[in-house]
Chains A and B, each alone.
Chain A
Amino acid sequence: MRLYSYDGPSGRKIGEIGDYTLYSETLVREKSVIKPYVTKESNTAFNFIYGPSTGGLIESTLFNILTTGESIKGMTSDPMFKLRELKVLGKNVKDAMPIIERINGSFTASHSIAFLGAVEDAMEIELDEYILMGRIIELELERIRNHLHVIARMCEAAAFGVPYNNLFYMREKINRLIEEYSGHRFFHNVNRIGEIDIDLIGVSKSLENICNDAKNTYDSLRDSKIFVDRLLDNGVVKDLDCIGPVARGCGYPYDARVDSTTLPYTELGFSPVIEKGKGDAMDRFIIRFEEIQQSTEIIGEAEKRLKKHTTRPHHMENEGEGLGRVESPSGDLTYLIKLNEGKINEISMLTPSKVNLPVFLNSTRGNVFTDFHFNWESFGIWISEIAVGFI
């Protein structure tokens, strides 16, 4: 492992990965302490079950809401209804890749790049600039698509048909752009060990119109009293254990693009966008829109550094341990793997959805039922990357 070491806590705490707790600079052999969720008993409160199958949620998950009828006194969740067990142990990296790509369809590029980052770390492979910049562009395209999706879902919760359709129209354009450049709408089969199979020259020009449309929609939504009223003071996060846009919405500059060396974002002059507000759904909404603009700029900068790619033979170790960490659209995404004779011997994963789910549950206390969807969508949590295990 070239980039991380087993040591005491150093840097910001990210979350639990396998038997360890990951900090931004070290891996510590301790289980991350999950704060017990305490709900005050009340004679008048009752449990309201929402899920696992509802029209309001994209994925199957269950929420157990303690309520007195309108206000939410507390909430627990059971995300394991759709548990999938993925057979990757004992497989070689090439065979495992298609399965890793299907952990979370919305974050395919993030999962495959973080996984390959860990593999390349274990195999001690050096990557050239074309591959690094290509992967940065993939991640930023995925971020733009995801942020558009999240904000559109928030508009849907407010029954705002016009911005909802505008945003999904833009998301579809991004999907088609990704398909045009990579051959697949979800980046399947694009990333491989030490290489990428995608030619991204010209992609930033195609993004200009989408970015301008997004800016107009953002301005309109910020001017809408009805919309802003639904987000302000909704789902206030006071928890330091959050990551991704949720943390940046609370004013914490937590971003793997700064403190992970898997990809050279800092060479592109990157610094994270933060919002020093209350840490509510409005702040997360603002962060996501601003990151769309920022990602467009990063893609422009990265494209300038794309040079003609020449495939060269890589020196590859068959055994080793590696860690790969990228900033997925919802936060730090990390893989820790051990390879033995080129096959996966051990694998652990840290996903932003798993880290942020307890933070979401804590943030719902004091809200009312109608706040639930705005708050839930603003976190950008995907159950598919929580309800998953490796066998």
Chain B
Amino acid sequence: MNDKVITEPKGSTPARRAGGGRLLDWLSQYAAFSAVLLTLAVAAIVAPAFFSPGNIRTVLIQTAILGIVVLGQTVALIGRGLDMSVAAVMTFAAVFVIQSAGSGNWGLLLVQLVLLVAAVGLANGLLVTWRGVPPFVATFALLIVVDGARLAYTRGQSAGSAPQWLKEIGSGSLLGVPIPVLIWLVLLGVFLVALNKTTWGRWLYAVGSNRESARHIGVPVSTVVISTFLITAASAVVAGVLLSGYLGYVDNTLGSNYNLNSMAAAIIGGVAFTGGRGGVIGASMGALLLAILMNLLVVMGLDIFWQQIVQGAVLVIAVVIQGLRARRAEGS
């Protein structure tokens, strides 16, 4: 069964490029960046309040938190997977955080967070590699399990305040730069090096491009795939902790938009949903774009439902651009 999926990747041949479709090529490479510029231009006209220093800071922090989830999601997508459980992991991590605010037991918190990453990452990874479950089904099932576990654990009352030290990390600054942004930039650097300069990075691109060939040249395919799900879970935990610190509180819906947004950001940033192509720089541009768009809708005073519509539309547009481009490359 797996063979079929591998031998028919529907336009995931990264090497071949048809002569036509320059516009599409350009679009899919710079879509996020150009859209950021365009959105900023629109903002300058319709909502100058967007450019107030306080608001810029908000946008940057929101970009950073989404950006951290996107780093993980990008790794999963490059390995031809995806992770639908990040939202649930974020919220569960935040629940552990608010409980520790009451108890002050930071050692326990660390153990809880590490166990959360290990349990969810391994469960996703093993379902996908060992059982051959499609990633979206495996991670969606884990989304239900983790959300259910959180509801059972908290009896539906995932509410409370973040501890003081975390609030300071979430909304404080170092040398004038918000701390979440610093953390994001450091992680971005780490991912950049890991993807481009390490053996693991080469393995990941190989696994995403063609699992069978990767196996033939000696790449430990299963291990690499499992590592991607551990990374998405870890990035979700970091983002969830930061988000609870930034907001100062936690509720049942804390992470709910991050599944869709992290995928939309990565894909509009040029990460191929067919695996093996794209990188964290483009994906981070995508995160910036989404954070700006969401914030702009708020600044413009539009109803909350517009956020949902725009998020969905961005994902649809991103996938369509990539789909068309893949078709061109295939020459069909």
Are the chains A and B members of one assembly?
no
| Contact surface of A with B, Cβ cutoff 8 Å | none
